[in-house]
Amino acid sequence: MNVLAWCVAAWLMGVGIYGVVTSRNYVHLIGCLSVCQSATYVLLLGIGFRWGAGPPIYYDHPPGTPAVDPVVQAFVLTDIVVSAAMTALLLAIALQVHKRRGTLDPQHLRPLRPTE
């Protein structure tokens, strides 16, 4: 149980990398990158967790009651926002690639080849 959270994070990262490597479509590849990124959410939130502690928001309970680590939660929030912005940027690139080359299969795309 002690290492389960870390194993889940490693497994998510592995599955994401496998998806990126075997991907046949850029949109699918972008989805796989998001899976890789979710490994970091699990890792960070796991590091901040503490048994028997509440949320670090002292609205219902007074300050001083045990709470999980707020710093890593802020990191995860940053992580998610950056992930969303990057996904949008990558999807925009994928759209342009499809317009210019007519395909989104990484195997049929050669980098820096002039368009016919």
* Interface residues toward other proteins, by CB under 8 A: 1-7, 10, 13-14, 17-18, 21-22, 24, 46-51, 55-59, 63-64, 67-74, 77-78, 80-82, 84-86, 88-89, 91-93, 95-96, 99-100, 107, 115
User: Min. distance of Cβ 38 from other proteins in angstroms?
Assistant: 16
Question: CB–CB of 52/109 below 8 Å?
Answer: no
User: Min. distance of Cβ 89 from other proteins in angstroms?
Assistant: 5
User: Min. distance of Cβ 23 from other proteins in angstroms?
Assistant: 9
Whole-angstrom Cα distance, residue 16 to residue 109?
A: 21
Coil, helix or strand at residue 68: coil
User: Min. distance of Cβ 27 from other proteins in angstroms?
Assistant: 13
Give the nearer residue to other proteins in terms of CB position, either 50 or 103: 50
Rg over CA atoms, the chain: 20
Residue 12, H or E segment: helix 4-22
- Specify the DSSP class assigned to residue 107: G
Give the nearer residue to other proteins in terms of CB position, either 4 or 112: 4
Question: CB–CB of 68/56 below 8 Å?
Answer: yes
